[in-house]
C-alpha cells in the first residue's frame, strides 16, 4: 500500500495469560491482574518500548460477575475494571470503556476502536478481558481467600449490561434463563429440520467437536487440554452428565477458567512514531456487527440468518470469499453456533482448514464474554506466520443473538466502512410470528429441550397453537412423566400436545384430560380455611380481609392465589351481590408485593386475574368496594384502583411507590391512575412515589367517600347497603355496559353501543319485579335473575 493514510488502524500486539488452580506455581491472580498480564504480553508482542504511556483509550470486556445486575463477586471486584488494568501496566488513558455483555464484545470493541482511530478520535487503544471463575469457585469461603476488591478513580464509559431482548421475565418463568436451554432449543430444531434421529445427531455433534479437543490439547492456555473422540463427547456418563437435551456437559461452553487476553490497536502514524516494526502490523480488512431477532420473534428456530449475514458482509467488505480465508475461528459455545455458520456458508463441518484456533469454548474455555479476544490473538499470530493470508474470527453473543466478525491479514489496506446499520434495518423488518403470552388449547411442538438440574427434570417446549398458529413457550409439570417421556424419546417436534396458561406461566402436557389431572380445576365456592385471607358472608354481602397485618398486608404468590380463589367464588355465586375488600388492622390496606419474600429469591408471580385476583380480572360485573384503612401503597394502591368503589379512612394514604424500590406499577397502576386523576397529578405520583391523603384522593377521583379513622369497613358496609337496595341484575348490567364502553371515545357511539346486558335485563325477573313493586308502592324482592 503506497502512501497509506497515517490514521489507518493496525493491530500491533496480542497477548494471552492463564493459570489453572492445580498447576504448580498457581498465583491466585485476580481478574485485573490476569488482564494486566495479558496486556503486558500484548505490549511486548508489539516489539517496541514506551507504548504503555502512549495509550489514550482502554476498553474492558465484562467478567461474568459484572455482566448481570446483582451477580455475586465472591472474592470482590474492581469498581473501574478498565482503569484498574491500565494502572497495573503504567497507562493513564484519557478514555476508559466498559463494554456491554456478550461474546461479541471483543470483536465489536476491536472494530469500534479501529474505526475511532481511523476517524482521528484516538491513536493508541488497548482492549482486554479476563475471567478468574476457577479461582473464585476454588477459594470463595476459604479462610485465606484473597480480596480482589479495589477502587479506582477516573471517568468510565460504562455502557451497561446490554441485555435487552436477551432475557425476559416471561422466558425466565419458563426456565429459559441461562444459555444451555436456549441453545438446546435451536439444536433440536435443526436436528428435526435435517431429519436426523437423536443418535445420528449426537454422533454428528461429537464429530464436529472432536477436532476442537485436539486443538485444545495442544494449547497451553486451554482450561481442559484433553483430546477426546466423538463417542466420548456425547456418551452420557456420571462425569459427562446431561445438562439440557441434546447436550451433555462436554458439549457445553466451559466457564470454569482463569484466562485473559488483550489486543493493542493503533494508527500507522503512532506505530511509526513508537517504532513498532511493520512485520507486527495486522490490518482489519472486513468487519460486521449484526443482531438476530429476539428468540420468540425468529421465523425459524433452527437457524440464525443474521449471524450468517454478518460473516457474508464482512467478507464482502474485505473483498474476498470464504474460500480465500485460510484461518478460521467460529464461535463454539454450543454445536449450533458452529453448525449454523457452516450451514449458511456451505462450509463442511470437517473443513480441512479447521474451525477453531483455540480449541473452542467447551475445551479451550468459554472465558466469559472474552473468549473471542483469545481467538483474535491467535488470528494475529497466525496471519503474521503466514503473510498475506486471511483470518476470520466470528464472535457470538447472547442466545445466538449478536454476531461480530473480523477479517484479518498482514496485507496492507486502508480503513473500510461497512453497511451493518443498513443490513440491521432489513433484519429488524423480517416478519415475526405472533406470540401468545397466555396459551390455551391444542398445539404442535416447534422445538423443545429437557433440562436436567439439581431440582429435577423439566421439559421446555416452544410450540404453535393449532387455532391461530401463535407461538408460545411452556414447561412441564414436575410429575408429568408422560410428557417428559414424549420429549425424551423419538421425535417430539410436530407432536400434538395440550397447553394451558396460569399466573405462573404456561404448562404443557399430552391431553386436556391429563392437564385436568395435573392441574385440577378448583371449585368456585368459598372455603373457611384460608391461610392469608378471612371471609365473612352476610346475606348478599361478602367481606374479604387480607390477614397479614404483620407485613402491612403485603402479598405473596400464595396470598394472591387465595384472593383470586375467593373472588372467583364471589363472581360465580348468584347469591353474592356485593363484596368488600379490606386489610387487617388499622395500619395498612395493603403494601402490595411482599418485598421481603421477593428478596428471598423465591419465584414471584400473580394469578392471571392479577394482584388480589382483581387487577387483571375481566369479569368485574359485580361491585367490589375497597375499604382502605391505612396505607394503600404500590400494589395495594393498584388493587384499590381496580375496585369500582373506594371508601377510605381519613388516615389512609394512596401511593404508587414502586420507583422508590426500583420497580414500576405494572399491575395496572400505570394505566388506571392516568385515567382516574388529572394527567399531571398522575405523572407526578408515578415518577416520584408521592402519596395522596384520603381527602386528596377523594378530590382527585380515586376515593368515593372519606370516613373517620377506623371507620373504613363500616363506611364500606353503608355503601354496600345502598347498592343492595337496587336490583343486582341492574347493577351487573350497568357495570357491564360501563366496562364495554370505557374505551369508546365518541360519546354518541358509546351510547349506541349494542350490549347483550340490555337484552338480558329486558328478559330478567328483576326488571318485571322492579316495575311491579313501583306500581304497587312496595319494596321490591330482588331475585337476581
- The model's pLDDT over 704-727, given as tens digits with 9 standing for 90+, comes to 999 999 999 999 999 999 999 988
State how far the Cα of 261 lies from the Cα of 61, in Å rounded to an integer. 10
Residues in the chain: 785
Give residue-wise pLDDT tens across range 596-626.
887 777 878 899 999 999 999 988 899 999 9
Give residue-wise pLDDT tens across range 426-470.
999 999 999 999 999 999 999 999 999 888 899 999 999 999 999
- What is the pLDDT, as a whole number, of residue 354? 97
Give residue-wise pLDDT tens across range 505-520.
999 999 999 999 999 9
State how far the Cα of 423 lies from the Cα of 107, in Å rounded to an integer. 18
Beta strand pairing call for 124-132 and 57-60:
parallel
Backbone phi, psi, residue 653, to 5°:
-135, 135
Catalytic residue chosen out of the listed positions 378, 658, 722, 765: 658
pLDDT(176) > 80: yes
Mean confidence (pLDDT) of the chain: 94
pLDDT(1) > 70: no
Please, which pLDDT band fits residue 270 given cuts at 50, 70 and 90?
very high
Which superfamily is assigned to 9-169+251-428 in CATH? Thiolase/Chalcone synthase (3.40.47.10)
pLDDT(378) > 60: yes
Percentage of the residues of the chain whose pLDDT score is greater than 90: 84
Give start and end residues of each alpha helix (H) in 473-581: 481-488, 512-518, 557-572
pLDDT(2) > 70: no
CB-based contact 389:317 (threshold 8 Å): no
- What is the pLDDT, as a whole number, of residue 785? 75
pLDDT(368) > 90: no
C-alpha Rg value of the chain to the nearest Å: 32
Mean pLDDT of 628-632: 95
State how far the Cα of 714 lies from the Cα of 286, in Å rounded to an integer. 76
Fold of 441-518: OB fold (Dihydrolipoamide Acetyltransferase, E2P) (2.40.50)
Residue spans of the domains in the chain: they are 9-169+251-428, 441-518, 533-724, 728-776
Give residue-wise pLDDT tens across range 227-266.
999 999 999 999 999 999 999 999 999 989 999 999 999 9
Give residue-wise pLDDT tens across range 183-225.
999 999 999 999 999 999 999 999 999 999 999 999 999 999 9
Mean pLDDT of 382-409: 97
DSSP string, 161-174: ---BTTB-HHHHHT
Q: Is 684 a catalytic residue?
A: no
pLDDT(524) > 60: yes
Fold of 533-724: 2-enoyl-CoA Hydratase; Chain A, domain 1 (3.90.226)
pTM, rounded to two decimals: 0.92
Q: Is 776 a catalytic residue?
A: no
pLDDT(347) > 80: yes
pLDDT(86) > 90: yes
Catalytic residue chosen out of the listed positions 65, 112, 565, 638: 638
Mean pLDDT of 84-107: 97
Mean pLDDT of 635-653: 96
Mean pLDDT of 545-558: 95
Amino acid at each position: 500500500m503506497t502512501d497509506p493514510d497515517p490514521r489507518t488502524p493496525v493491530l500491533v500486539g496480542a497477548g494471552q495469560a492463564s493459570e489453572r488452580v492445580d498447576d504448580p506455581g498457581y498465583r491466585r491472580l485476580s481478574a485485573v491482574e490476569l488482564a494486566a498480564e495479558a496486556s503486558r504480553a500484548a505490549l511486548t508482542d508489539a516489539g517496541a518500548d514506551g507504548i504503555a504511556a502512549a495509550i489514550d483509550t482502554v476498553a474492558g470486556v465484562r467478567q461474568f460477575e459484572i455482566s448481570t445486575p446483582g451477580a455475586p463477586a465472591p472474592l470482590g471486584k474492581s469498581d473501574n475494571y478498565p482503569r484498574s488494568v491500565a494502572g497495573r501496566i503504567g497507562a493513564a488513558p484519557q478514555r476508559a470503556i466498559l463494554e456491554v455483555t456478550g461474546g461479541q464484545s471483543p470483536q465489536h470493541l476491536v472494530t469500534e476502536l479501529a474505526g475511532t482511530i481511523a476517524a482521528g478520535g484516538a491513536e493508541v487503544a488497548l482492549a482486554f478481558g479476563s475471567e478468574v471463575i476457577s479461582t473464585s469457585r476454588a477459594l470463595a469461603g476459604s479462610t485465606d481467600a484473597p480480596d480482589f476488591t479495589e477502587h479506582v478513580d477516573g471517568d468510565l464509559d460504562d455502557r451497561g449490561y446490554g441485555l435487552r431482548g436477551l432475557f425476559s421475565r416471561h422466558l425466565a418463568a419458563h426456565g429459559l434463563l441461562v444459555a444451555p436451554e436456549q441453545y438446546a432449543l435451536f439444536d433440536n430444531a435443526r436436528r428435526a429440520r435435517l431429519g436426523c434421529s437423536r443418535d445420528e445427531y449426537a454422533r454428528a455433534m461429537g464429530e464436529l467437536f472432536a477436532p476442537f479437543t485436539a486443538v485444545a490439547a495442544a494449547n497451553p492456555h486451554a482450561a481442559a487440554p484433553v483430546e477426546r473422540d466423538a463417542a466420548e463427547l456425547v456418551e452420557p456418563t456420571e462425569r459427562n452428565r446431561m445438562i439440557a437435551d441434546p447436550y451433555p456437559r462436554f458439549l457445553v461452553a466451559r466457564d470454569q477458567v482463569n484466562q485473559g487476553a488483550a489486543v493493542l490497536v493503533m494508527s500507522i502514524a503512532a506505530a511509526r512514531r513508537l517504532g513498532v516494526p511493520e512485520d507486527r502490523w495486522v490490518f482489519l480488512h472486513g468487519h460486521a456487527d449484526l443482531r438476530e431477532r429476539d428468540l420468540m420473534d425468529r421465523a425459524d428456530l433452527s437457524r440464525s440468518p443474521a449471524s450468517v449475514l454478518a460473516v457474508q458482509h464482512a467478507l464482502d467488505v474485505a473483498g474476498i470469499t470464504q474460500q480465500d480465508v485460510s484461518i478460521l475461528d467460529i464461535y463454539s459455545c454450543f454445536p449450533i453456533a458452529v453448525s449454523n455458520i457452516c450451514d449458511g456458508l456451505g462450509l463442511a463441518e470437517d473443513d480441512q482448514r479447521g474451525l477453531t484456533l483455540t480449541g473452542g469454548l467447551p475445551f479451550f474455555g468459554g472465558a466469559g464474554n472474552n473468549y473471542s479476544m483469545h481467538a483474535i490473538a491467535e488470528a494475529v499470530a497466525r496471519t503474521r506466520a503466514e503473510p498475506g493470508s486471511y483470518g476470520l474470527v466470528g464472535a457470538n453473543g447472547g442466545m445466538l443473538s449478536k454476531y461480530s466478525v473480523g477479517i484479518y491479514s498482514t496485507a496492507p489496506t486502508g480503513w473500510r466502512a461497512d453497511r451493518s446499520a443498513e443490513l440491521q434495518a432489513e433484519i429488524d423488518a423480517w416478519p415475526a410470528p405472533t406470540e401468545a403470552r397466555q396459551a390455551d388449547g391444542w398445539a404442535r411442538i416447534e422445538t423443545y429441550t429437557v433440562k436436567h438440574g439439581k431440582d429435577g427434570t423439566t421439559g421446555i417446549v416452544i410450540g404453535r397453537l393449532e387455532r391461530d398458529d401463535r407461538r408460545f413457550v411452556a414447561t412441564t409439570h414436575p410429575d408429568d412423566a408422560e410428557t417428559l417421556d414424549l420429549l425424551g424419546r423419538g421425535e417430539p417436534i410436530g407432536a400434538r400436545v395440550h397447553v394451558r396458561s396460569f399466573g405462573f406461566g404456561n404448562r404443557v402436557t399430552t391431553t386436556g384430560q391429563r392437564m385436568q389431572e395435573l392441574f385440577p380445576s378448583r371449585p368456585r365456592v368459598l372455603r373457611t380455611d384460608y391461610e392469608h385471607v378471612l371471609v365473612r358472608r352476610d346475606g348478599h354481602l361478602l367481606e374479604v380481609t387480607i390477614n397479614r397485618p404483620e407485613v402491612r398486608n403485603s402479598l405473596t404468590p400464595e396470598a394472591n392465589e387465595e384472593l383470586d380463589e375467593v373472588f372467583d367464588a364471589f363472581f360465580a355465586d348468584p347469591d353474592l351481590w356485593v363484596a368488600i375488600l379490606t386489610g387487617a388492622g388499622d395500619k395498612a390496606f395493603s403494601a402490595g408485593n411482599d418485598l421481603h419474600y421477593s428478596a428471598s429469591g423465591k419465584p414471584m408471580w400473580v394469578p392471571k386475574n392479577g394482584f388480589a385476583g382483581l387487577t387483571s380480572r375481566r369479569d368485574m360485573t359485580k361491585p367490589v368496594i375497597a375499604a382502605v384503612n391505612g396505607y394503600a401503597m404500590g400494589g395495594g394502591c393498584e388493587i384499590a384502583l381496580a375496585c369500582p368503589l373506594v371508601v377510605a379512612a381519613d388516615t389512609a394514604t394512596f401511593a404508587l411507590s414502586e420507583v422508590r424500590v426500583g420497580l414500576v406499577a405494572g399491575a395496572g397502576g400505570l394505566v388506571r391512575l392516568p385515567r382516574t386523576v388529572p394527567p399531571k397529578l398522575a405523572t407526578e405520583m408515578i415518577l416520584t412515589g408521592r402519596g395522596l391523603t384520603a381527602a386528596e384522593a377523594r378530590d382527585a377521583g380515586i376515593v368515593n367517600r372519606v370516613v373517620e379513622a377506623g371507620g373504613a369497613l363500616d363506611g364500606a358496609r353503608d355503601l354496600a347497603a345502598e347498592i343492595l337496595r337496587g336490583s343486582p341484575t341492574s347493577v351487573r348490567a350497568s357495570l357491564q355496559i360501563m366496562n364495554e364502553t370505557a374505551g369508546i371515545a365518541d360519546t354518541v357511539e358509546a351510547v349506541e353501543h349494542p350490549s347483550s346486558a340490555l337484552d338480558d335485563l329486558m328478559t330478567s325477573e328483576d326488571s318485571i319485579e322492579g316495575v311491579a313493586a313501583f306500581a304497587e308502592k312496595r319494596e321490591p324482592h330482588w331475585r337476581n335473575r
